[in-house]
Amino acid sequence: MDLQLTGKTIIITGGSDGLGAATAKTLAAEGANVVIAARGLEKLTSVAASIGGQALAVQTDVTNPVHLENLVTQTMTRFGRIDAIVNNAGRAAAKPFESITDLEWQEDLDMKFYAAIRLSRLAVPHMRAVGGGSIVHILATGGKTPGANSMPSTVSRAAGMALMKAMSKDLGKDNIRVNGVLIGLVESDQWVRRAAQNNQSLENLYAKLPLENNIPLARVGQAAEFADFIAFLVSTRAAYISGCAINFDGGMSPAF
Ligand SMILES: NC(=O)c1ccc[n+]([C@@H]2O[C@H](COP(=O)([O-])OP(=O)(O)OC[C@H]3O[C@@H](n4cnc5c(N)ncnc54)[C@H](OP(=O)(O)O)[C@@H]3O)[C@@H](O)[C@H]2O)c1
């Protein structure tokens, strides 16, 4: 199936590592121009260099509104259009309720919620100008099933789901589709760091996670599988899919 992504321009936040970097590589291989955004310049430029001329790296802290304006300006200057954005930048944040400070709540919401609002708001006029587009908020299954010691992340993700649904209603008339992808457990650099912190081999960690979390498919997901799914979702092959909070979790979540 030809995803018809040639010549399209897609912004991926958190594109320097893990799932964002895998997504950028897959989208570029499908012919899209990709703009990757993250704070650390070294990894960002190295991922862009591995992709080549179709990639633009823009050093960005998504919690800074001025950085997001710069991201959109640089995208338009280089590629002249925006067809899709993948709001992917994030990190794990899960603690007991009473131990979370106001600052930690604010930081989590700034990164996972306000960043998606701000970047989407900046990109929408450019998508409208090219006749439509696709916005994907990367979320987590905990947004549907928040458990003990899962905040602030699960609450930010639930807010992201409501944002996605409401945006899909507002923007459908402009042929702009908005969806959420709720991740369970997928191989990425955050698990590489976790294994190193715990003095554990990565293979061990990936073998334990499906057992501890009762994943029906009995394995964690692969970054390339995630990237393939996102490539489909941003493409016009998914032209009638909007307003969905789709689990990407090997069947792990009890909620659909
Ligand atoms: N992998 C999983 O199993 C899993 C499960 C549930 C949810 N998720 C979500 O899926 C997304 C991708 O996860 P991942 O596993 O690929 O994570 P990762 O390997 O840790 O990569 C995170 C990316 O986000 C960037 N980032 C972090 N803070 C940022 C900021 N303030 N501004 C801009 N970029 C920022 C990082 O680069 P810099 O640090 O250099 O900025 C990096 O490129 C995240 O939202 C994560 O919460 C993943």
pLDDT at 231: 98
Q: Give the full edge-to-edge strand order of the sheet including 33-38.
A: 55-59, 33-38, 9-13, 84-87, 133-140, 176-183, 245-248
pLDDT at 188: 96
Domains of the chain: 9-186+221-247 (3.40.50.720)
**H-type alpha helices, 175-217:** 189-197, 202-212
Global pTM reads: 0.98
Q: What is the mean pLDDT of the chain?
A: 98
pLDDT at 119: 99
The CA 20 to ligand 1 mean position distance, Å, reads: 7
User: What percent of the chain has a predicted confidence (pLDDT) above 70?
Assistant: 100
Span 11-15, average pLDDT: 99
The CA 214 to ligand 1 mean position distance, Å, reads: 24
For a substitution probing ligand 1, which of 154, 190, 226, 249 has the most ligand atoms within 8 Å of its CB? 190
The CA 173 to ligand 1 mean position distance, Å, reads: 31
Contact 123, 82 (CB under 8 A): yes
pLDDT at 57: 98
Contact 83, 127 (CB under 8 A): yes
Strand positions, DSSP E, 88-223? 94-95, 133-140, 151-152, 176-183
Cα distance between residue 21 and residue 34, in whole Å: 10
Span 35-61, average pLDDT: 98
For a substitution probing ligand 1, which of 60, 91, 189 has the most ligand atoms within 8 Å of its CB? 91
Closest by CA to 202, choosing from 217, 218, 216, 220, is 220
At 254, is the pLDDT very low, low, confident or very high (cuts 50, 70, 90)? very high
The CA 7 to ligand 1 mean position distance, Å, reads: 26
Is 51 near ligand 1, meaning CB less than 6 Å away? Answer: no
At 95, is the pLDDT very low, low, confident or very high (cuts 50, 70, 90)? very high
Q: Whose CA is nearest to atom 32 of ligand 1?
A: 61
At 69-78, the pLDDT tens digits run 999 999 999 9
Is 220 near ligand 1, meaning CB less than 6 Å away? Answer: no
Is 39 near ligand 1, meaning CB less than 6 Å away? Answer: yes
pLDDT at 228: 98
Q: Whose CA is nearest to atom 29 of ligand 1?
A: 89
At 175-198, the pLDDT tens digits run 999 999 999 999 999 999 999 999
At 103, is the pLDDT very low, low, confident or very high (cuts 50, 70, 90)? very high
pLDDT at 111: 98
At 80, is the pLDDT very low, low, confident or very high (cuts 50, 70, 90)? very high
